[in-house]
Structure 1
Amino acid sequence: MQNLPPIWLLRHGQTEWNAEQRVQGQMESCLTQLGIQQARRQAELMKPILSQRPLCFVSPLGRAQQTADIALGGAPFETDARLAEICAGDFQGRTNAEVAQGFPELFANNSTTLDLYCAAPGGEGFDMFQSRISDFLATLTGPTVVVAHALLGQVMRGIVCSLGRTEMGKLSKDQGCIYLLKDGKEQVLR
């Protein structure tokens, strides 16, 4: 996408289900103590950014809201449903091992988490997921902070950096950092 303003993208901190290697998708799971520490680390990184008064948007899911409450240090934010994580259909609530056992062919044929979740029966799929992220990006009018999720972050970063789906699925999904997206490039702030 052309002519996008700078975006500071934060993934939520570690959740109980992240620690259990359980598929969250659009289901809820609370931050762990590590996740809270990661959000506090983001809060330190955000101080100079927030002094610029960027617009802040957050996924409606609890883990992103909890992270935003910590990382944005009380700065106002707007909740936007387009920032929810991908709906992973029948995979949601299952551990990775249960997905591998219950859907062996899908598990074997989709090497990245992004590809696997996009292939989930009853799920959202890549095209709809990418479309709602692109729709959100098209509405941005100035420097913006986004607090969201791993796969949403991969696709958003991929769109901004003009990557294909395969490359998107290989992007990092780190917690406790900030991805600065500016001029079609990505920089990780730690």
Structure 2
Amino acid sequence: MSEYPKIWLLRHGQTEWNAERRVQGQLESRLSPLGLEHAQRQAELMQPILSAENPPCYVSPLGRAQQTAEIALAGREFTTDARLAEVHAGDFQGHRLVDLEQDYPDIFARNTTPLDMFCAAPGGEGYERFHARTLDFLQTLSAPSVVVAHGLLGQVMRGIICGLDRSEQAKLSNGQGCVYVLEQRRETVLR
């Protein structure tokens, strides 16, 4: 297992579609009022880290992560990296979970976690490609870094760093308004 530089990982704040329990994948949805509060809380947590460490910052190209980064990183420059986009959830994107469960009962019965379900979506990216691009990003890091991205990408990234298998990754939390600190194959959470 590789050793990676320290990472401060931020999931975007709650979006309007999160609140509706609608699958975003790589579609766009703005931060909700609660999501703006999440990003502001992350800004408070990150301010002393950004001042003391001055780490490079990398952000998903999707609008919700960009919006979160503008707030949480307090206007600091960042690099947008396409490898940090959320998993492409194929035919599930844009649909409410309650409707998908009715339309795809077999997929929902076999895949009980969001990571497994979204990776099983017809026409989607799938777990192997999603894992490969996340790993590819991690392997390019050479210094402690900030990453602003997404819940499922965060689960895979945290799992890779902590040496977890897919089923363990799928059970990880997906907190918003917090910062996951990943260092020496372990995670701690700043709240």
1:155 aligned partner: 156
Shift of 1:2: 1.8
Q: Per-residue displacement from partner, 1:14-54 (whole Å, max 9, x unpaired)? A: 00000000000000000000000000000000011101110
2:14 aligned partner: 14
Shift of 1:3: 2.4
Q: Per-residue displacement from partner, 1:132-187 (whole Å, max 9, x unpaired)? A: 00000000010100000000000000000000000000000010000000000000
Unaligned 5+ segments in structure 2 are: none
2:118 aligned partner: 117
Structure 2: how far apart are the matches of 1:38 and 1:115? Answer: 26
Is residue 3–residue 161 contact of structure 2 (8 Å, CA) maintained in 1? no
2:45 aligned partner: 45
Instruction: Kindly report structure 1 stretches of 4+ aligned residues shifted beyond 2 Å.
Output: none
TM, length-normalised to structure 1: 0.99
Q: Does the alignment pair 1:143 with 2:144?
A: yes
1:131 aligned partner: 132
2:30 aligned partner: 30
Structure 1: how far apart are the matches of 2:120 and 2:2? Answer: 29
Is residue 40–residue 71 contact of structure 2 (8 Å, CA) maintained in 1? yes
* Count of paired positions: 190
Q: Per-residue displacement from partner, 1:33-79 (whole Å, max 9, x unpaired)? A: 00000000000000111011101000000000000000000111000
- RMSD of Structure 2 on Structure 1 (CA): 0.5
Shift of 1:108: 1.0
1:3 aligned partner: 3
Structure 2: how far apart are the matches of 1:65 and 1:149? Answer: 11
Aligned pairs for 1:156-171 within 5 A: 156-171=157-172
TM, length-normalised to structure 2: 0.99
